[in-house]
């Protein structure tokens, strides 16, 4: 079993839709969870960061962590064509252990 | 100016050649990382360095070596390039024990 599982998509939605992106993981020691956005031919950029369980909201983006289910989600409200990118989840036990990445979900938002 | 820069941005080389990819950062971060990204395989860690005198192997270090020349510079070398090292290579940085990493723009490498 891979440590982090993420559906690669591609996921195609109409503009204005609510998007849900998800990752599951197997290591219960993970405490720090991140979402990165990667545009084509660019480096990943940090989008959301959460510690332990709970929700975090930033504008149209909400990150949700359920440690009991080992499941994390990223919700995008009112999706825009500019949200079209690959979204990577990442997680770790601490700052002294390597980040473990999901393989990324490719999202297309159609105008 | 970008905080994390990588040179070259694109490189084509032949099997058996030695090549070096360079990473520089102006973020003042002490930790630096090298990843490769392949379609369907995601990001995989090659090497990482917590400070100038610290070098650690990642998940896929075979065939690669690194040098941390200064806090701001971290180079990745392929001693004898092979076609399956064709990939997108990213450098990243982080500060202290903070978990978040910041990525450079990537180097696209093609080994013929």
Strand pairing partners for A72?
A: A23, A65
Per-residue pLDDT at A94: 85
At B98, is the pLDDT very low, low, confident or very high (cuts 50, 70, 90)? confident
CA dist list (Å): B34 to A22, A61, B5, B18, B41? 26, 28, 13, 17, 15
Pairs of residues, one from chain A and one from chain B, whose beta carbons lie less than 8 Å apart: 52
pLDDT (average), residues A38-46: 93
Query: What CA–CA distances, in Å, run from B84 to B63, B78, B87?
Result: 11, 12, 8
Give the mean pLDDT of chain B: 94
pLDDT the model gives residue A6: 94
**pLDDT tens figures, B14-53:** 999 999 999 999 999 999 999 999 988 889 999 999 999 9
Residue B104 neighbours by CB distance under 10 Å: 26
DSSP string, A59-92: TTEEEEEETTTTEEEEEESS--GGG-EEEEEEEE
Are residues B106 and A42, on separate chains, in Cβ contact within 8 Å? yes
Q: How far apart are CA B36 and CA B29, in angstroms?
A: 21
Name the DSSP class of B38.
Answer: E
Burial class (CB within 10 angstroms; exposed 0-12, middle 13-18, buried 19+) of A104: buried
Instruction: Give the residues across from B7 on adjacent strands.
Output: B22
Q: Let me know if B58 is exposed, middle or buried by CB neighbors in 10 A (0-12, 13-18, 19+).
A: middle
Per-residue confidence band for B1, with pLDDT thresholds at 50, 70 and 90: low
CA–CA gap between residue A93 and residue A4 (Å, rounded): 13
Q: Would you state the structure tokens that stand for residue B52, as one six-digit string?
A: 């100038």
A7-13 mean pLDDT: 91
Rounded to whole angstroms, what are the CA distances from A3 to A86, B48, B65? Answer: 19, 20, 26
**CB-CB neighbors (< 8 A) of B102 in chain A:** 46
Q: Which residue of A has its CA nearest to B44?
A: A101
The pLDDT tens digits for B29-38 are 999 999 999 9
Chain B residue numbers touching A49 (CB-CB < 8 A) = 99-100
């Amino acid at each position: 079993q891979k440590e982090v599982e993420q559906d690669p998509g591609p996921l195609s939605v109409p503009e204005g839709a609510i998007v849900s992106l998800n990752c599951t993981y197997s290591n219960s020691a993970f405490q720090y969870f991140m979402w990165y956005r990667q545009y084509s031919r660019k480096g990943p950029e940090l989008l959301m960061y959460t510690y332990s369980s709970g929700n975090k909201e930033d504008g149209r983006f909400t990150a949700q962590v359920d440690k009991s289910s080992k499941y994390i989600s990223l919700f995008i409200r009112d999706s825009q064509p500019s949200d079209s990118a690959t979204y990577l989840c990442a997680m770790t036990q601490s700052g002294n252990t390597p980040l473990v990445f999901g393989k990324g979900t490719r999202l297309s938002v159609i105008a | 100016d970008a905080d994390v820069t990588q040179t070259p941005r694109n490189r084509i080389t032949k099997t058996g050649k030695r090549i070096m990819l360079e990473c520089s950062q102006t973020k003042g971060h002490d930790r630096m990382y090298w990843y490769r990204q392949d379609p369907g395989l995601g990001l995989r860690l090659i090497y990482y360095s917590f400070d100038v005198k610290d070098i650690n192997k990642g998940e896929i270090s075979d065939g690669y070596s690194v040098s941390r020349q200064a806090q701001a510079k971290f180079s990745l070398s392929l001693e004898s390039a092979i076609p399956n090292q064709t990939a997108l290579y990213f450098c990243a940085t982080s500060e202290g024990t903070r978990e978040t990493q910041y990525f450079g723009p990537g180097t696209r490498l093609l080994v013929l």
